[in-house]
Amino acid sequence: MADDISYQTWTTLTSTPGETESLAERLGRLLQPGDVIALVGELGSGKTLFSQGLAQGLEVPESFYITSPTFAIINEYPGRIAFYHLDLYRVDSVAELSELGLEEILYGQGAVAIEWAERLGENLPGERLEVHLAFSDESSRSLIFHAFGANAKQRLATLVFSYESADDKS
Chain residues that interact with ligand ATP, rule: CB under 6 A: 14, 16-17, 19-20, 41, 43-49, 68-69, 115, 139-141
Of these partners, Mg ion, ligand ATP, none, which one is at the site of residue 56 (CB under 5 to 8 Å by kind)? none
Of these partners, Mg ion, ligand ATP, none, which one is at the site of residue 12 (CB under 5 to 8 Å by kind)? none
Nearer to ligand ATP, 53 or 149 (CB): 53
The torsion region of residue 41 among left (phi > 0), alpha (psi -120 to 50) and beta comes to left
Q: Which residues of 26-46 are buried (b: 16+ CB within 10 A; e: fewer)?
A: bbbbbbeebbbbbbbbeeebb
CB 151 within 8 A of CB 127: yes
Of these partners, ligand ATP, Mg ion, none, which one is at the site of residue 101 (CB under 5 to 8 Å by kind)? none
Within residues 83-122, the interface with Mg ion by CB under 5 A covers 115
Q: What 8-state DSSP symbol labels residue 166?
A: -
Tell me how far CA of residue 102 lies from CA of 26, 37, 75, 124, 132, in angstroms: 26, 14, 12, 10, 22
Of these partners, Mg ion, ligand ATP, none, which one is at the site of residue 20 (CB under 5 to 8 Å by kind)? ligand ATP
Task: Candidates 37, 41, 47, 112: give the one binding Mg ion (CB under 5 A).
Answer: 47
Q: How far is the CB of 29 from Mg ion (least distance, A)?
A: 22
User: Quick one: which of 76, 144, 157, 69 has its CA closest to 109?
Assistant: 76
> Where does this chain bind Mg ion (CB under 5 A)?
47-48, 115
